[in-house]
Amino acid sequence: MRLRNGMWLPIEGKRVEYAEDVYTITEQPSGRALSLLCPTKHVRSRGDTLNLPTVTIDIEAVFDGVLSVEVTHWSGAVSRGPHFELFPEGKPQGDASISVSDKGTTLTSGSVSATIHPDQHNFDIRFHATDGSKQLTSLLNRSVGFVYSPFPSSPVQLDDMRQFKTYIFTQTTLSVGETVHGLGERFGAFNKVGQSVILRNNDGGTSSEQAYKNVPFWLSSRNYGLYIDTPDEIELEVGSERLCRVQTSVKGQRLKWYLIYGTSPKEVLYKYTTLTGRAGRVPSWSFGLWLSTSFTTSYDEKTVNSFLEGMAARDISVEVFHYDCFWLKAFHWCDFLFDPDFFPDPKGMIARLTSSGLTKKVCVWTNPYLGQASPVFTMAAEKGYLLKRQNGDIWQTDLWQAGMGLVDFTNPEATRWFVSCMESLFDAGVSAIKTDFGERIPVDDVAWFDKTVDPSRMRNYYSFIYNKTVYEALQKRYGKSEAVLFARASTAGCQRFPLQWGGDCESTAEAMAESLRGGLSLGLCGFSFWSVDIGGFEGYPSPWIYKRWVAFGLLTSHSRLHGSNSYRVPWTIDNDDQGDHSCTKTLARWTALKARLMPYLYAQAAEAIAGGLPLSVRAMCLEFPEDPTSWYLDRQFMLGSRLLVAPVFEESGEVEFYLPRGNWTNFFTGEVRVGPGWRKETHNFDTLPLYVRENTVLVMGKEGERRTVYDYLEDVEVRLYHTTAGAKAELVDSEGNERGTLQIDEDNLVIGKELLCGNPKIQVISG
């Protein structure tokens, strides 16, 4: 939201009140907080205190390295829900202190402090490392306040607030060269400086400024993050109005955010996910290839069998088969009933499918809507399971499904009914759920079952309760670590319910790059697992696009073939070409490579969960924060902490990528390149720039492995890349249990070989 017309003029139609003084500073009884009373003009006499709005700024030490800042205009405004669930694993303790010196009043929370300038007329709040080593950001002159829209000509008009909207804002300073990242799955430029961003969940595809996953958290290249504690719509001007500030504004009378400091961006993410939660562990089978029916295609049991038999005949293992929308009867979405005309025996069909060995698991598509053509709609409406309008009508729309209603998850009975629908699917043999949609949640003329919630806050928050409901139902049936979603809509905290995929992208190289940028941004918001529609969702991918996307998609944490109105089995893309670089051969190679990487991937997944980090796609700045270039790289990523991946976006196979400082070994050829520096290479379809970081002990499955679930300690291949004493690799089994550590000693020998079984192969690749 713009507040100024350039540097000097106010914007037309709005009245902006800025906090000008810090009139009083009050220490709270807890000894962990300060309350600042801030008039909106300089108070130099008693008369100046009359007819004068104030803003209250409460700063609290939360835990080590974390401060909260809450700005309030009128404290009597009701604080309506819903509210994000914070500290799901418990709140850590931390030391706090308050001191006063000639530099001002300082509140310290472990490694981070806030200092308020001693001159009340100099509005200046500095956030800095406690040891004085780093200035983080500040709230300076005219950086905190509230806005009336439209402009009231007299304070008397504000007796009736129905005619006015109020917004609270803060403007934190941006330093020279500082970059800003995150804010959910954003498909535009990786560095958000210069962008206006609205955090409002929308179904807008990947080629727009809208996002399915809006997360009110951003990460700075100066080793701090800022989490805005509201699910409401948030408007940010990231160096786009005041070029040296990040402005955050929300509708209402209060705004609260947390400033999170760490010595590295990894530490910032760890503390952020301490606030909002970390990903649950996902089963090893979910890392294998998922094959979909695609969206509007026509299929039945015979079609499904032909797909899976064709994949098996071509030596391509499919771990999960996914039934998209049309397992349901047209116009009935989503009443959770298989269309009897195409699937008369769903339980038997799924049993036949999984017992055949053609796939391990079955996933089905769902959404939280209900078309009125289904008899289930009438039942749900009568029982109050659907969202209503303010006059008591069921809220309905013809967008997507004719006359559809929306499940009201603020109604406990509706939630229990929805869970019972999930359980009926589990009874039929379904093991995973695609929780699609949940973005276009109405905010006007609606009445939720829970009267305490603010409809405007439900638009983003709905994705949290929707995904949580389904994820916990899966956990209850299959076990805590066997639950896995394929979710599209998300917000803060949804990383607890893995996994998420990138939404509707076109079948182009540009859309592949858009998707990667979205995944990188989401990963910097604590989401450990991510996937993408291989080949693109919209359109008909050409063979070269499909093959380039296969290489990219099989090196993300989770890999799914899915499209809109065309199938994604490889032989339909290139007329079943039999050549060595056909779509089929390409898919088989990359699927097999991912299977071989599972001992590494599953161990890295555990580390990612523990640290609140993305497994893949991991932004380069998380591993190389001291390299300024890493904060701008959005066409490459890290797969875990040891492997660098640069997808190819050109039909010719040409690709340019950046290697940070150190020795990097080409995974395929063993050639060593030394960074830092940019490189250009040309690749066919069986390779891409996949480089192994120096000092890596890489544990892989044996040559020829095609499965995703196997014994990760038997007959493995252990590769040593420029290793020195102390280099190590954690070992886990396919259930995620820790089995020990392989470590390099002073003589460059591997300690812990006895943990391996069968005929392990250890080789020095470079060193």
Whether 284-601 and 620-766 share one fold: the answer is no
pLDDT at residue number 367: 97
User: What is the per-residue pLDDT for 767?
Assistant: 78
Question: Are 496 and 278 contacting, i.e. CB atoms less than 8 angstroms apart?
Answer: yes
Domain ranges for the chain, please list them: 12-75+94-156, 284-601, 620-766
745-765, pLDDT tens digit by residue?
Answer: 999 899 999 999 999 999 999
End-to-end CA distance of the chain: 55
- pLDDT, tens only, 210-223: 999 999 999 999 99
What proportion of the chain, given as a percentage, has pLDDT over 70?
A: 100
User: Could you name the CATH architecture of 12-75+94-156?
Assistant: Sandwich (2.60)
Helix-then-strand count for the chain, H and E: 11, 43
Q: What is the pLDDT of residue 87?
A: 98
The stretch 165-184 carries a mean pLDDT of: 98
pLDDT-derived band of residue 88, with 50, 70 and 90 as boundaries?
Answer: very high
Token pair listed for 83: 């509210």
Looking at residue 700, what is its pLDDT? 98
Question: What are the tens digits of pLDDT across the range 224-247?
Answer: 999 999 999 999 999 999 999 999
Is the pLDDT reported for residue 538 higher than 90? yes
How far is the C-alpha of 232 from the C-alpha of 210, rounded, in Å?
16
What CATH code is assigned to 620-766?
2.60.40.1180
| Residue 425 to residue 434: CA distance in whole angstroms | 12
**Distance (Å, rounded) from C-alpha 20 to C-alpha 119?**
11
CB-based contacts of 642: which residues, under 8 Å, 6+ apart? 600, 604, 692, 693, 696, 698
Beta-carbon neighbour count of residue 39 at 10 Å?
20
d(Cα 495, Cα 483) in Å, to the nearest integer? 13
Helices 265-276 and 598-611 cross at an angle (nearest 10°) of 70
Predicted confidence at residue 752, as pLDDT, reads 97
pLDDT 10s digits, 14-69? 999 999 999 999 999 999 999 999 999 999 999 999 999 999 999 999 999 999 99
**556 CB-near residues (< 8 Å, 6+ apart):** 519, 530, 531, 532, 616, 617
Tens digit of each residue's pLDDT (9 = 90 or more) over 692-716: 999 999 999 999 999 999 999 999 9
What is the average pLDDT value for the chain, to the nearest integer?
97
Q: Return left, alpha or beta for 344; rule: phi > 0 is left, psi -120 to 50 is alpha, else beta.
A: alpha
How far is C-alpha 28 from the geometric centre of its chain's CA atoms?
36
CATH level 2 (architecture), domain 284-601: Alpha-Beta Barrel (3.20)
pLDDT band at 209 (very low <50, low <70, confident <90, very high): very high
Contact (Cβ atoms closer than 8 angstroms) between residue 691 and residue 715: no
Residue 219 CA, distance from chain mean position: 13
So what's the pLDDT on residue 766? 86
Q: Is 90 exceeded by the pLDDT of residue 70?
A: yes
Is the model's pLDDT at 602 over the cut of 90? Answer: yes
What is residue 672's predicted lDDT score, i.e. its pLDDT?
98
Whether 450 shows a pLDDT value over 90: the answer reads: yes
Q: What mean pLDDT comes out for the span 512-525?
A: 98
Catalytic residues: 436, 439, 504
pLDDT at 10: 87
Cβ-proximal residues to 345 (8 Å cutoff; 6+ apart), any chain: none
Per-residue pLDDT reduced to its tens digit, 396-441:
999 999 999 999 999 999 999 999 999 999 999 999 999 999 999 9
Question: Is residue 382 pLDDT above 90, yes or no?
Answer: yes
Percentage of the chain beyond pLDDT 90 is 98
- CA 515/CA 531 separation, integer angstroms: 9
For 699, the token pair is 């544990």
Partnered with residue 698 across adjacent β-strands are 719
Taking the CA atoms of 368, 374, 375 and 377 in sequence, report the sign of the dihedral they define. positive
Which pLDDT score, from 0 to 100, does residue 364 have? 98
Here the tokens at position 165 are 């909207």
Q: Select from 699, 720, 718 the least CA-distant residue to 761.
A: 718
Question: Using one digit for the tens of pLDDT, what is the confidence trace for 328-364?
Answer: 999 999 999 999 999 999 999 999 999 999 999 999 9
**What pLDDT is recorded for position 445?**
97
Going through 267-371 in order, the beta strands assigned E by DSSP cover 289-292, 320-323, 361-366, 369-370
Convert the pLDDT of each residue in 275-314 to its tens digit: 999 999 999 999 999 999 999 999 999 999 999 999 999 9
